[in-house]
Amino acid sequence: MDLHHHRWKSVKTGLHPPRNTGACGHRFPTRKLLNTMRQPKVTSGHDGDHWFPAPGTPGATGMPDVRVAGGVVRGVREGNVFTWRGIPYAAPPVGPLRFRAPAPPVGWSGIRDGTRFGPMAPQPTRTHRSALGSAEATNEDCLSINVQVPVPALADADSLPVMVFIHGGGYFQGSSRDFSGQGEGFAGTGRAIYVNFNYRLGPLGYLDFSRYSTPERPIDSNLGLRDQVAALEWVQENIAAFGGDPDRVTVFGESAGGNAVTTLLATPSAHGLFLRAIAQSAPADAVYPPALAALWAAEFLQILGDQHDGQGRPGPEADPVPDLLLNGSVSDLLAAAKILQTRIPDAYPGGFCFAPVIDGTYVPEHPIEAVRAGRAARVPLIIGTNEREGSVFHGRWDILPSSPSRITGVFARSPRQARHVMRAAYPGLPNPTSATEFSGDYGFWYPSIRFAELHCRFAPVHVYRFDFAPRLLKMVGLDAAHGVEMFALFDRTDIPMARMITSLGGREAYARAGQRMRGRWLRFAESGTTSSTWPAYDDLNRSTLIIENTDHVENDPHRRRRLAWAEFMARPDEPWSGTRVSEDTARPDR
């Protein structure tokens, strides 16, 4: 989930195309050559190489063309970046491809218009308006990718590092055309190519119906995650055509996108598709065992059947694929998903029903267990959270364990001897202030810290905490809330939401904090390093960069809480028993 949403496959794993070589074997020119090449006129059926023009040397239409897997796509120059939008990276997941792994993109003839975003994935009606204020079209045919490249005059390298962003939104909302879809803040520096994409969400992407698969009508698991891998494969195949270096890909994401990053690190099919990773506000342990995923899928089908007078429910013993699931309307699926989503936080406190699942094959084990054993991708990682992650999760976003009953449910799953340690770490729990801290730490902070302390044994890790909060957010008690860094990081302090939260002052300081953060992200993408003033995280010092008015490093911030969680979550890779929580014997005030 992101603050801006709140109320106010042909490449084999680990293999890369030769540098400056396309998927079809074409030899791509270096960026220096791109500065001098003229755009050839492109006609339908032309089989040559098509490059974007250098500034001042436009083609017949004045717009840049590039050949990718599937055909030629025409972008547009916007200021100091070239942009291509809505490029298919997989076949439309519709009809017989609904609930199937992504298939290769369907080719096209002629020149495809790449000036508009593709449709966003189906999601609840109230999220169809982006943070930029524009209405957004939704469609199951949503698997498209966008590329932003600095004009050649800005770059002095033969090829540029690539930053691939995965949007957040709880795996049930969001799209590549949210404000974070505007990557000018990164590409406009001339230091990197920026890529982002849509992937399937909600019941179409993140409920596991694979138990209902049949030989006649197979159903795959982890569809949204598979989409993300397909997008990264597309980058490997095609990014050299845009002047990007497929050997220097950094994947980064926030919230659900951060969870995607930590999950991709533990997904064998994704290994070798990126060199570095950044996980912002990642609920890194929100990956669930198959028994629990099956319960949630069955409950969804029960809801879907109830909406149709009992028709379409799976039988108590047989496992046919329900017709309403495979052929039902998107609106029916979304309506059932909305009901399921309102039930889960109370029935399974702290659970997110739309999330990756440990299916034993595509995701063979929990990411925490994979990183613990050294089986996750051993790539450099930046990981961190915001100071008060839990402060915005209320009202229709009330999904964290912040109420007394939900906190009781979380306590019921913890070792009895650890409960007094947790109460001491959050005095007054479950009063509202302590409950906000507890729930945010449960959902985001401790999973990220746990991931960092395990991953740092095998690869360099840098940990941060974003503490900057504009005056208005401090006054209303939100402080550095979940997602608040995103406007500044993407250099979008001009949009209405960012202007609102800085309306009482602090806009320039907020923008500077984002600029420093963006500079560090870019340096990491370029070289895998941060700076001498931001030491790597290790078990001894636990150095953490605090991003505020001025940045500084603290060692092991919130040490007492960290130790309490380590005891409280004895097996964070197994947070669920697969049964509803109804115990009242572990009340946190006892």
Q: Is the pLDDT of residue 276 over 80?
A: yes
The SS3 of residue 433 is helix
Pick from 300-314, 379-393, 409-423, 491-505: least confident: 300-314
Percent of the chain past pLDDT 90, that is, above it, reads 74
| pLDDT of 12 | 32
The mean per-residue pLDDT over the stretch 343-349 comes to 92
Q: Tell me the pLDDT of the chain averaged across its residues.
A: 85
Active site residue 255: yes
Q: Which member of 455, 482, 485, 543 is catalytic?
A: 482
Contact call for residues 381 and 453 (beta carbons, < 8 A)? no
Q: Is 526 exposed, middle or buried (0-12, 13-18, 19+ CB in 10 A)?
A: middle
* DSSP 8-class letter at 315: P
Q: Is the pLDDT of residue 46 over 70?
A: no
Residue found under tokens 């947070």: 575
Q: Is the pLDDT of residue 200 over 80?
A: yes
Active site residue 389: yes
Which of 264, 156, 222 is CA-nearest to residue 526? Answer: 156
CA atoms within 13 A on the CB side of 187: 31
The mean per-residue pLDDT over the stretch 353-364 comes to 98
> Which residues fall within 8 angstroms of residue 384, CB to CB, at 6 or more apart?
279, 280, 281, 448, 463, 464, 465, 466, 544, 545
Q: Which segments within 181-275 are labelled E, that is strand?
A: 193-197, 244-254
The enclosing H or E element of 163 equals strand 160-166
Which of 528, 533, 554 is CA-nearest to residue 543? Answer: 554
* DSSP 8-class letter at 240: G
Q: Which member of 159, 210, 255, 269 is catalytic?
A: 255
Beta strand pairing status for 552-555 and 543-547?
antiparallel
In whole angstroms, give the CA distance from residue 496 to residue 488. 13
Q: Is the pLDDT of residue 422 over 50?
A: yes
CATH superfamily of this structure's domain 9-243: Alpha/Beta hydrolase fold, catalytic domain (3.40.50.1820)
The mean per-residue pLDDT over the stretch 441-447 comes to 97
Q: Give the pLDDT band of residue 318 (cuts 50, 70, 90).
A: very low
Q: Give the pLDDT band of residue 579 (cuts 50, 70, 90).
A: very low
Show the CA angle centred on residue 25, arms to residues 21 and 27, nearest 5°: 45
- What backbone phi and psi angles, to 5 degrees, belong to 530? -115, -85
| pLDDT of 136 | 62
Pick from 151-160, 178-187, 444-453: least confident: 151-160
In whole angstroms, give the CA distance from residue 384 to residue 392. 18
Residue found under tokens 């994935």: 121
Q: Is the pLDDT of residue 113 over 70?
A: yes
The enclosing H or E element of 494 equals none
| pLDDT of 571 | 56
Which of 84, 178, 226 is CA-nearest to residue 498? Answer: 178
- Characterize 465-501 residue by residue with b for buried, 16 or more Cβ atoms within 10 angstroms of its Cβ, and e for exposed: bbbbbbbbbeeeebbbbbbbbbbbbbbbbebebbeeb
Pick from 227-236, 341-350, 579-588: least confident: 579-588
Q: Give the pLDDT band of residue 398 (cuts 50, 70, 90).
A: confident
Q: Which member of 140, 184, 369, 389 is catalytic?
A: 389
Percent of the chain past pLDDT 70, that is, above it, reads 80
The SS3 of residue 552 is strand
In one letter, which amino acid is 324? L
Q: Give the pLDDT band of residue 350 (cuts 50, 70, 90).
A: confident
- What backbone phi and psi angles, to 5 degrees, belong to 462? -125, 130
CATH 3.40.50.1820 positions along the chain are 9-243
Secondary structure of 75-129 in HEC code, one letter for each residue: CEEECCEEEEEEEECCCCCCHHHCCCCCCCCCCCCCEEECCCCCCECCCCHHHCE
Q: What is the distance of C-alpha 518 from the center of its chain?
A: 17
Give the number of residues written for the chain: 590
pLDDT digits (tens, 9 = 90+) for 1-11: 444 443 233 33
pLDDT digits (tens, 9 = 90+) for 219-247: 999 999 999 999 999 999 999 999 999 99
Q: Is the pLDDT of residue 370 over 80?
A: yes
CA atoms within 13 A on the CB side of 422: 31
Higher pLDDT, 321 or 408: 408
Q: Is the pLDDT of residue 380 over 70?
A: yes
What's the whole-model pTM score?
A: 0.87
| pLDDT of 31 | 34
The mean per-residue pLDDT over the stretch 113-117 comes to 95
| pLDDT of 446 | 98
Q: Is the pLDDT of residue 356 over 80?
A: yes
| pLDDT of 53 | 37
| pLDDT of 310 | 52
Q: Give the pLDDT band of residue 396 (cuts 50, 70, 90).
A: low
Q: Give the pLDDT band of residue 161 (cuts 50, 70, 90).
A: very high
Higher pLDDT, 27 or 299: 299
Contact call for residues 550 and 557 (beta carbons, < 8 A)? no
Q: Is the pLDDT of residue 405 over 80?
A: yes
The mean per-residue pLDDT over the stretch 42-49 comes to 33
Q: Give the pLDDT band of residue 268 (cuts 50, 70, 90).
A: very high
| pLDDT of 311 | 55
